Amino acid sequence: MLAGLLVHGFLPDTAATDIAGDALYASAVFLGLVLVAPRSHPLLVAGIAAAWCLAVELFQLTGIPLALGAVFPPAMLVLGTVFDARDLVVYLISVAVIAIGDLTLRRIGR
């Protein structure tokens, strides 16, 4: 999560930093779920993480996250501001990569 905050706070706003931020956000959601339910299967965690990320991105279509961010800027870190279809793709790829990594590490650890 710290890496995502650093990308958001200290690097210029470019397509690359937007993609990096999205990937780090999806990774943080996945890892947060693993911390809450460490014995859950990585594919279940991946499904929940992907659903969360997609729901948050689609919620941005309502304009509510943008309005909340105007009143309480930290809300933008969780809910974002405006919809970007590219984010959906980045979230799904990121969650898939981290799930594969989790599965691999669990198999090595046996």
Round the average pLDDT of the chain to a whole number and report it: 90
Residue 4: pLDDT above 70? no
pLDDT digits (tens, 9 = 90+) for 11-24: 667 888 889 999 99
Encoded tokens for 50 = 């992907």
The boundaries of the domain holding residue 86 are 2-7+14-108
pLDDT digits (tens, 9 = 90+) for 90-102: 999 999 999 999 9
Residue 7: pLDDT above 80? no
Per residue, the 3-state secondary structure of 40-109, as one string, reads CCHHHHHHHHHHHHHHHHHHHHHCHHHHHHHHCCCHHHHHCCCCCHHHHHHHHHHHHHHHHHHHHHHHHC
pLDDT of residue 6: 56
Total domains present in the chain: 1
pLDDT digits (tens, 9 = 90+) for 14-50: 888 889 999 999 999 999 999 999 999 999 999 999 9
Q: Kindly state the average pLDDT of the residues 55-76.
A: 95
